[in-house]
Each structure stands twice: as structure tokens, then as C-alpha cells.
Amino acid sequence: MFIALVMSFFGARLVQLQGVEPAKYATLAAETGGTVTVDLPAVRGEILDRNGRPLADSVDGRMVVADPQMTRKSAPQLARFLARRLHIDYFTTLHALSQRHSRFAYVARRVPASLAVRVVNDATAAGYQGLATRNDPLRSYPDHDVAANLVGFMGTDGPLAGLELTFDRQLAGTDGSETYEVGAGNRIPLGHSTVTPAVNGTDLHTTIDEDLQWYTQRVLRQTVLNAAADSGFAIVMDRRTGEVLALADYPSYDASNPTASPAKDRNSLAMTSPYEPGSVEKVLTLSSLIDAGKVTDRTKVVVPPELPSGGHIIHDWFSHPTLHLTLAGVIAQSSNIGTAKASRLFAHGQLRHYLDEFGLGRPTAVGINGETAGIVPTGSQWTGPLQDRIAFGQSVAVNGLQMAAAINTIANGGVRVSPSLIEGSATTNTGQQVGTDRATRHRVVSSNAAAQMTDMMERVVDPNAGTAPMAQVPGYVVAGKTGTAQEVGGPCHCYRTGGMDVSFAGFAPADDPRFTVYVVVKHPRRNIGGGITAGPAFSKIMSFALRRYGVPPTGAQPSHIPTTW
Amino acid sequence: MSSTAPALRARVPRLAEAALERARLTVVPKRKRRRTSPVPFLVVVSMLAVGGIIGLLLFNTSMQQASFAATDLQRQADALQAQEQTLQMQLDHLRDPQAIALKAQRMGMVLPTSPAVLDLRTGKVLGDPTPATRLDPLRLLAPPPAKPAELDPPAHVTVVRTPANHSAKHSPKNSARNTARGSHDGGGRTGTHDHTSHTGHTGNTPTH
């Protein structure tokens, strides 16, 4: 009888627990311990230079948050403590800590985990209540502005620019999670647990050489500022592999503090902004003409003071009487008239075909977002007067890397190596495979034509015959070409009101080239001229690269091919 | 004719009496049951039970201990990993070519312009070696941002003509000292000193 009574009480309680309000007790159990689910954040892949040094690197980070209800009383002291330890602004912190009607405030974001935890522990030990840390992944750019225009940067929620954005899918990885039972803060052994491991992001290996990139950026900045120019870029390319060792842009920005610079400074102007290459283009025109068998480096050209072309008249950058220049002289003196006149020997469509082979008008697809393909007129747009202008680099637009790769073709004996910025192979977010594994080679001009062009380009840096003696690299034979192009600009979108773009492209050692360097300075207001503005920058960058890679001087003598007759 | 069993039996010769006697079935005498004590059994069973429970308890406790230790160690591992990453980050910052270049420049180092290359096979010096100079140093720092016009007014210069006979009275040494002193005073007062300030300076000279 008694047992039956007790059992009925048990039965009633069971019905209450399981039948009437089961959900309430389940939640209660989960809250007072039970199971917890923790995110296992995937580590974002690093962006590395060619020697494995990080250009962008992931660090376990925390945010420091506060409960203002608890911190308000001692806000000034705590704010001073935090400002000193976390290097944050005192007044912002004070404001955050003393808010009314709020139970949550950010104190600092993206703090290295060890620092954040130490500071919060110290604050707690000192008697300050109401601080906590939470997960907040931190992306570090140890070199600040070095390669920042290429690497890009991370925003609060994801990548916002550069390689970070282009290769986000590869870099990001997949977050995992772990669910397990806990009691009193400790994991219950043999308790129920499930783990979905995080898949870490894959590192991105670039072909950039950190030190060379840094040096190139510094020389470029000095050059642009000394010339009071708007902007500029410089590219260093390995002649044999087409690997981009440095691609510097100015203006640049600090990737660890991107908002301090205007948005227009944060992308790579070299890759995204098309411009007219000017006289550097003559290298492509004349080497094509040699390859087509129409001329040689010694072909005699009569250069009149001016050359009518369509409704316009072509002038040279310096006024002169009728000159008797060889083709080498046309390059050395950078004569527009001589080049245009020689280019009239091309059959119809021939120059267009060569420029296409040199890679103009097509994106290099190295993995830079928003790369411009440049503009090369086609079909009916291609008229005689237009070809005259294209021959010396007007009416055609390129991006910096296209032009560097085209000049590199001459350095490489007439074989174009497609440029690469990624070591090995990587897939962009749009599914494009890029990298050195995908580099292609094809012959554009004969090795004989390339050799003749190299001889002619060696005359450019000759103090007596050429336009750019300041581009010489002491001890080495340099082949190069200056460029001075009128910018299209102003309200009329014409050449008249624009400034100048000055440039120098070349390679060394000329008899066995190792590097191709291309420097462009846009809209200089002082020292306007490819030879005097871009030439010294070329010389410094090339000299540094040769030294850094231990390229010995070959002991060859520069060509003395005649420039006049 | 009445042959009864006893009679029959009497007639049967008593053969093998003894054997017969042995073969006769008898009831097994009831053995006296000895009651054994239950204590050893209970002791063994309870020892097993208690031992099992204690063993389980110990096992459980040690698992709990291991769990505490695991949580602790995990926390420690996380902290150490975070510390390692932070140190790595600091190292990367220290390895920043900019930081190294700034230090090197402060120590008076300059970039070589044209170093020599020694060919070890032939013992020849290649290239065109020239000593590095401090001329044309690499500018490492970005220029400071331009000040707004209000904060960067043009220099305010007042030219005061001193009497011709005044400067003639001073010895060249004295006037040189005054010039130096004038530049010490800063832009605002440069060029504004008159005879009074000259005498003042001359009086102060020994202390400088």
C-alpha cells in the first residue's frame, strides 16, 4: 500500500518533467553546463614573398570588450590603464567605458591574443571589473607599405583589395566547430562530443622579392617627389622566367592602416590605369620591322624636320634640320619622324599583328583585380596616320606590366615569356588558374632582330649618341629606351592640355640580360624627360637588383654601331 | 503341499551367506550436515563489490583529474601559441626592410653605388668599383603631409638698416659673434637687433 503511494508520486513527477514542460528543462540543462559549441576558426593563409617572408600574416587576435555598467565607476583610471597598455586613444576609451544604458562596448579590436589576455588579466588583478576578450582574427602586414598596392588589405568582415581579395577563396579556408559536454568549466570525459575540424587557408606564394620591392618603392617615391609628379610605377622582371620581382606604385599606402590613405592610392595604378607608352613603343615597332626583313639596324633614314601624316604634322621632341640617322640613331635620338617613316614599310595589318604578339591589348592575367587590357585599335580604326602615331607610342594604351613583358621579349632574344606574380599555381576567386606553372613562351621576333635591337638600345645610354646617359649602371652594359608621352587629359580630352608621362625601360647586362626594369613617372613638373627623370631611377633599381642577385659584370663593351651617316 | 517361503528358504543351502549379506541394499545412513560459516563468502563478495566501486571511483577521479589537466594544458597551449604568433609578428616587424634601413642609415651606413665583383677562378676584379658616398642618399621616410596654409604662413622678415658707422666700430671677430648669436635667436628676431641688443650680447658672450 505504502509502496504504491510512493510510486504514484514518482509517476506524477515523471509526467510533469517529460510530458508537461520538457523543453524548459532541456534549456535549463544546456545553460547550466551541458553542451557547448565552440567555433574552430580557420587560420587565413599567409601571403609570402619569393623567399617565404610574410607580406601578410595571420595572428590569433582578440577584441577587448567592456560592460559599461561595471566599468563606469572607475572609467578614468581604467581608461588610462588600457590606453597605456593597449596603445589606444584615452578619450575614445573613456567614452566607451562610461556609456550609460549600455552593457556592451568595444574597447579595442584586433589585438594580438597574448597581449589582450594579459592586459585583461592584469586589469582584473588590479580590481577592475567588466572587461572581457572575444575572438577577433588579426591580419598583420609587417612591412606596412611594401607591396601594399599588390597585396591589398582586410576589412572588418573580409578582404577589400588586392591579392587578399583575388585569392580570398584559397586564403580563407573553412571554419570548423566542436561541440562537447562541460561540467564546471571542464570537459566531461567520455561525454558526447563532435568535431568538424577547421580547414586552414592555403598560403599564397608570390614572386615578389620583399627587399627589392622595398628598395624599388623608395627609389620610385624619391623620383616622383623630386620631379613633383602625380604618380609613378616601377617594375622589375626576371628576364628568363617572366617573374615579377618588384612592382612598385606611388602613391602607396600602409596596409596595416589603410583608411589613413585615400582609396585611389590603394590599388595598383601600374596595372589598372591604361596610359600611352610613348617612345618606349619604338622598340616594339622597329624590332618588328627588322624581324619582317624590311630594315636592319644600319638602315639609313633621312629624317626631315617634320612629317605630314593625314591632317596632322609629326614633330620630333627637339627641332632639327634634316638629319641623316641610321635606324640605331632613330632609337638613340628617339626620333618620332624616323620611326613613323620607317613604319610605313610595314604591310597592312603587320604592325597590329606584331603588337598583339608582344602581348599588347590583352590582360596579362597575373592575378590583379581590375587589370586593364589596354587599348589597341583594330580593323577599320587602323588607318595609315594612326599607324604613324602608334609606331612611336601614341594612340595606343597599355598597362605597365604589358609593356615590361614586351621589352623583356627583346631581352629574352625575341621570345615572350608571359609575366607571373604568383609562384607555382593558384586559383583566383573567379576560377582562373594563374602562376609560374602556367607561364607560356612564344617567339615574337627572331633572335637576330632582338640582337640588333639590343645593339641599338645600347646606344640610348651613350653620353654622346643617346638620350639617357643617366640610365647607365656602372660596370655593366645597359640596353634601354626612354619614353616621353603626352598625357591625354584636361576638359578637351586631348594631348594639348595634358601633362607628360616619362619613362625608361631597359635590361642588363645587355649581352646576357638578367633583369628587365621599367620605370614610368606620370605628369612630372620638374626635370621632364625620360632620360633625366626615369633614367636615374632605372639605374639605381637595376644596380641594386644586379648586386642583390650577385650578377657579375660580363666585361662586354657597349655597341658602337653608327647612329648617323 | 504347503510350501512356505521360510520352508523354502530353509531348504536352500545357505551358500555364500557372507556375500549375500554384503550385497543387501541398505539405506545410506544420514550423514550429519556440517554448517559452514557464510562469513568468508560475504567478505569476498563485498570485497569484490567495494573494490570495484572504489576502483571505478578512482578511475573516474583520475579521468576527472586528467580532464582538468587537459583543459589546463589546452589553455596553456593556446596561450603559448598566441604568444608565439605575437613574437613572430614582432620579429616580422623587426625584419621589415624599412626598419633595418632606418637603423643602418642612423649608424652611418650607405648603399654601395658600384661594388667590385671578385672572380675567384681567375682572381680578377670585375666591374667598376667606386667607394660608396653619402651624396644622394636614399630618402627612407615619406615627406610629412603639407601643412594647411593657416598653419604655414610665409616667413615674416623685417629688415632694419643699421647705421653704417656702427658696424665699422666693431672688430670682424665681434661682428661674427653677433651674426652667430643672431641666428641662435630664431627667425622672429633675426635682422631686428639694434645697437642696444648688440651691447647686451657682447656682455653675455663669456657665458656662451
Rounded to whole angstroms, the Cα distance separating A288 from A267 reads: 33
Chain B residues near residue A544 by CB distance under 8 angstroms? 111
Nearest C-alpha in B relative to A184: B68
Q: Which amino acid is at A147?
A: A
Is A189 in Cβ contact with B63 (below 8 Å)?
A: yes
Q: Which 3 state secondary structure label does DSSP give A409?
A: helix
Q: What are phi and psi of A110, to 5 degrees?
A: 50, 55
Write out the three cell numbers for B12. 536352500
Burial of A113 (0-12, 13-18, 19+ CB in 10 A): buried
Q: What are phi and psi of A127, to 5 degrees?
A: 95, 5
Chain A residues near residue B121 by CB distance under 8 angstroms? none
Residue ranges of E strands in chain B: 117-119, 124-126
Decide: A214 and A195 in contact? Cβ < 8 Å. Answer: no
Write out the three cell numbers for A536. 636615374
Chain A residues near residue B127 by CB distance under 8 angstroms? 474-476, 552-553
**pLDDT tens-digit profile of B117-127?**
888 888 888 87
pLDDT at A30: 62
Rounded to whole angstroms, the Cα distance separating B200 from A152 reads: 62
List the one residue out of A410, A415, A482, A416 whose CA is nearest residue A451. A410
In the predicted model, is pLDDT for residue A21 greater than 70?
Answer: yes
pLDDT at B154: 77
Nearest C-alpha in B relative to A143: B96
Mean pLDDT of chain A: 89
ipTM of predicted assembly, 2 dp: 0.80
Is A113 in Cβ contact with B96 (below 8 Å)?
A: no
Q: What are phi and psi of A291, to 5 degrees?
A: -60, -35
Q: How far does the CA of residue B51 sit from the closest CA of chain A (Å)?
A: 22
Strand bridging mode A54-59 / A35-40: unpaired
pLDDT at A180: 82
Rounded to whole angstroms, the Cα distance separating A109 from A98 reads: 18
Where is A486: in which H helix or E strand?
Answer: strand A479-486
Task: Give the nearest partner residue to B89 out of A117, A142, A187, using CB atoms.
Answer: A142
In the predicted model, is pLDDT for residue A113 greater than 90?
Answer: no
Nearest C-alpha in A relative to B59: A189
In the predicted model, is pLDDT for residue A557 greater than 80?
Answer: yes
Picking from A46, A119, A180, A214 by the largest number of B CB atoms within 10 A of its own CB, the best residue to mutate is A214
Picking from A59, A138, A181 by the largest number of B CB atoms within 10 A of its own CB, the best residue to mutate is A59
Angle at A328 between CA A327 and CA A331, to 5 degrees: 90
Q: What are phi and psi of B10, to 5 degrees?
A: -70, -30
List the one residue out of A457, A442, A436, A559 whose CA is nearest residue A516. A457
Where is A245: in which H helix or E strand?
Answer: strand A244-250
Report the predicted TM-score, pTM, of the whole model to 2 decimal places. Answer: 0.80
Which 3-state string (H, E, C) describes A161-214? CHHHHHCHHHHHCECEEEEEEEECCEECCCCCEEEECCECCCCEEECCCHHHHH
Write out the three cell numbers for A423. 609562384
Nearest C-alpha in A relative to B72: A186
DSSP string, A513-559: --EEEEEEEES-SSS-SIIIIIHHHHHHHHHHHHHHTT-----PPPP
**pLDDT tens-digit profile of A434-453?**
999 999 999 999 999 999 99
Q: In this structure, is residue B88 part of a structural domain?
A: yes
Q: What are phi and psi of A418, to 5 degrees?
A: -70, 135
Q: In this structure, is residue B101 part of a structural domain?
A: yes
Residues 6+ apart with CB under 8 A from A143: A55, A210, A214, B92, B96, B97, B98
Is A53 in Cβ contact with B93 (below 8 Å)?
A: no
Bond preceding residue A552 cis, omega within 30 of 0: no
In the predicted model, is pLDDT for residue B32 greater than 80?
Answer: no
Q: How far does the CA of residue B157 sit from the closest CA of chain A (Å)?
A: 28
Residues 6+ apart with CB under 8 A from A463: A469
What number is the average pLDDT over the span A508-525? 93
Residues 6+ apart with CB under 8 A from A129: A70, A71
List the one residue out of A127, A331, A58, A108 whose CA is nearest residue B89. A58
Q: Which 3 state secondary structure label does DSSP give B28?
A: coil
Rounded to whole angstroms, the Cα distance separating A243 from A247 reads: 11
In the predicted model, is pLDDT for residue B83 greater than 60?
Answer: yes
In the predicted model, is pLDDT for residue B182 greater than 60?
Answer: no
Q: What is the residue range of B97's domain? A: 84-110
Residue A237 pLDDT class (50, 70, 90 cuts): very high
Rounded to whole angstroms, the Cα distance separating A280 from A299 reads: 20
| DSSP 8-state secondary structure symbol assigned to residue A16 | I
State how many domains chain B has. Answer: 1
What number is the average pLDDT over the span A134-152? 89
**pLDDT tens-digit profile of A187-234?**
777 777 888 888 989 999 999 999 999 999 999 999 999 999 999 999
Write out the three cell numbers for B13. 543351502
| DSSP 8-state secondary structure symbol assigned to residue A17 | I
Q: Which 3 state secondary structure label does DSSP give B87?
A: helix
Q: Which amino acid is at A129?
A: Q
Decide: A461 and A332 in contact? Cβ < 8 Å. Answer: no
Chain A residues near residue B140 by CB distance under 8 angstroms? 218
Chain A residues near residue B83 by CB distance under 8 angstroms? 114
Q: In this structure, is residue B25 part of a structural domain?
A: no
What number is the average pLDDT over the span A511-533? 88
Chain B residues near residue A142 by CB distance under 8 angstroms? 89, 92-93, 95-96
List the one residue out of B111, B160, B159 whose CA is nearest residue B133. B111
Rounded to whole angstroms, the Cα distance separating A483 from A529 reads: 8
Nearest C-alpha in B relative to A211: B97
Q: What is the separation of C-alpha A369 from the centre of its chain, rounded to a whole number of angstroms?
A: 9
Task: Give the nearest partner residue to B128 out of A187, A474, A552, using CB atoms.
Answer: A474
In the predicted model, is pLDDT for residue A494 greater than 80?
Answer: no
Angle at A84 between CA A80 and CA A88, to 5 degrees: 90
Angle at A124 between CA A118 and CA A125, to 5 degrees: 85
Integer angstrom CA distances of residue B85 from A136, A267, A456, A479, B82: 14, 29, 54, 46, 5
In the predicted model, is pLDDT for residue A498 greater than 80?
Answer: no
Give percent of chain A with pLDDT exceeding 70. 97
Q: In this structure, is residue B172 part of a structural domain?
A: no
pLDDT at A185: 65
Residue B203 pLDDT class (50, 70, 90 cuts): very low
Rounded to whole angstroms, the Cα distance separating A349 from A353 reads: 6
Is B98 in Cβ contact with A552 (below 8 Å)?
A: no
Rounded to whole angstroms, the Cα distance separating A408 from A220 reads: 20
- Chain B residues bordering chain A (beta-carbon distance below 8 Å): 63-64, 66-68, 70-71, 78-79, 81-83, 85-86, 88-89, 92-93, 95-98, 101, 111-115, 117, 119, 126-130, 138-140, 142-143
List the one residue out of A179, A204, A159 whose CA is nearest residue A46. A204
